[in-house]
Amino acid sequence: MEFIDTFFEWAWARHHNVLSWYIRPLFLLPFCYFAYKRSLVGLFITVVALATSMFWFPVPKSISPAVLSALQAEKEYLLGTWTIWKLLLALLIPASFITLAAAFWKRSYLLGLLVINAMVVIKILWTFVIFDHDATLAHLLPAVVGLSLVNFAVFLYLRKHKKPRT
């Protein structure tokens, strides 16, 4: 048990590095690509990379009060009492990823983009519920930048690979 606590503290300290906040939405790109290519191994590797990305970066030298507030609220939320609504909201995460994979697996790009945008918008709305104003704003920029880049990349891919009408 001590090892788990030590690991959690080690990982949590690295989660304070906002670089991980910026790269996390970008994992949607390889996820969609591997779904499109119908690669279960690629999807699995992407999900593992996404789950571990929170501690890829070093502990930041300084942490803004907004980031501290956001992560404290997140920690309290995760370690707090789990109600049926909290459980249902948590189940929305794997359900969203399954729906996203299915959309690109079936080549339904419009549904895929709809799911991507819904996932990020729901995450942003969630931050408005559990974070204070400054913490929400600290989280908002990485989410919007990531969503914009993912949308742009998918649109570029679709434009480049669009089949001509016959």
Give pTM, 2 decimals: 0.84
Residue 136 has pLDDT above 80, yes or no: yes
Over 64-123, what HEC string results? CHHHHHHHHHHHHHHHCCCCHHHHHHHHHHHHHHHHHHHHHHCCCHHHHHHHHHHHHHHH
pLDDT digits (tens, 9 = 90+) for 65-110: 888 888 888 888 888 899 998 899 899 999 999 999 999 999 988 8
- Is the pLDDT at 163 greater than 70? The verdict is no
Sign of CA dihedral 104, 26, 113, 99: positive
pLDDT in tens, 14-47: 888 888 888 888 899 999 999 999 999 999 999 9
Q: Which of the pair, 99 or 141, is modelled with greater confidence?
A: 99
More confident residue, 99 or 166: 99
Which positions ≥6 away from 137 have C-beta within 8 Å?
Answer: 66
pLDDT at 112: 92
